[in-house]
Structure 1
């Protein structure tokens, strides 16, 4: 019930609500901004505006994870953010010296926040990280919009 009322709040606020829902979803809090995106698209809002709102909000949410990582130590992240060591280790192996361009993969479920946190811990270039993260999140939302449009055409 709580999730439905939060989702309804975001939908009521249109583009700004989508931006906020995407920001929340990109941060360490679990939320699905894709549901808000699809509802707003069905309500007739401009797909380009929706894409921009979702991508920018989700990128800024992901960058909050980066900045948290930049401020902290690995032990703090596990203790305070409840990200287990196994997830952090998996993300660390995945990054394996590739650096800031791996921010592209911050859109991935479950591991995306850990990727952003570890990039912050590694002190990767914040501008390259933000740019690669933005591209990854843009591709994800384009895929959501494309999948929705394809499904609608089937019916």
Structure 2
């Protein structure tokens, strides 16, 4: 039961970290790896959670543009236009940066706004998100020195 709760906590932290919520999953991931949870299982759980959180952002992006001119909307029309131009310039391949702090979450929202195909989105984001956790596991295990 404790393992289920631990993995559930990792999943939720990874899921939340991929959304617009200010959550970090790395501390949970590293803590569990240090506590001898299998790295492959941590990568699987965190990667799936983080990818699904990004899918929520994609759906949010598909829905959110209708509110761009409202006063309460957090991103002004100019900011959204700038993000769309940037995404149009670099295209779907920019989703390989969806793992990155500060830019990753907005990228996944803009992909939804830009009507990126969901299958292409999921493939590229999955590569990025799983790659992030594989790298984190390797660093934590001492396989990669920073």
TM class, shorter-chain normalised?
Answer: 0.7 to 0.9
Superposition pairs of residues 28-43 of structure 1, within 5 angstroms: 28-43=20-35
Q: In the alignment, which of 52, 58, 63 is matched to residue 44 of structure 2?
A: 52
User: What are structure 1's unaligned runs of at least 5 residues?
Assistant: 1-10
Give the equivalent residue in structure 1 for 2:58: 66
Give the equivalent residue in structure 2 for 1:75: 68
User: What are structure 2's unaligned runs of at least 5 residues?
Assistant: none
Higher helix share: 1
Q: Secondary structure at the match of 2:42?
A: helix
Question: Hey, which bits of structure 1, 4+ residues long, moved more than 6 A?
Answer: 84-87
CA contact (8 A) 1:107 1:136 kept: yes
From the superposition, tell whether residues 41 and 121 of structure 1 become closer, same or farther in structure 2 (CA, over 3 Å).
same
Q: In the alignment, which of 108, 112, 120 is matched to residue 120 of structure 1?
A: 112
Give the equivalent residue in structure 2 for 1:136: 128
Task: Tell me by how many angstroms 1:151 deviates.
Answer: 7.9
Aligned equivalents of 2:39 and 2:70: distance in 1? 36
Tell me: higher relative CO, structure 1 or 2? Use CA pairs within 8 A at least 6 residues apart: 2
Q: What TM-score does the superposition give when structure 1 sets the normalisation length?
A: 0.78
Aligned equivalents of 1:77 and 1:14: distance in 2? 41
CA contact (8 A) 1:87 1:111 kept: no
What's the C-alpha RMSD, in Å, of the aligned pairs? 2.9
Task: Tell me by how many angstroms 1:100 deviates.
Answer: 3.2
Give the equivalent residue in structure 1 for 2:142: 150
1:24 has 2:19 as partner: no
CA contact (8 A) 1:19 1:56 kept: yes
Give the equivalent residue in structure 2 for 1:6: none
Q: How many pairs does the alignment contain?
A: 143
Superposition pairs of residues 95-110 of structure 1, within 5 angstroms: 95-110=87-102
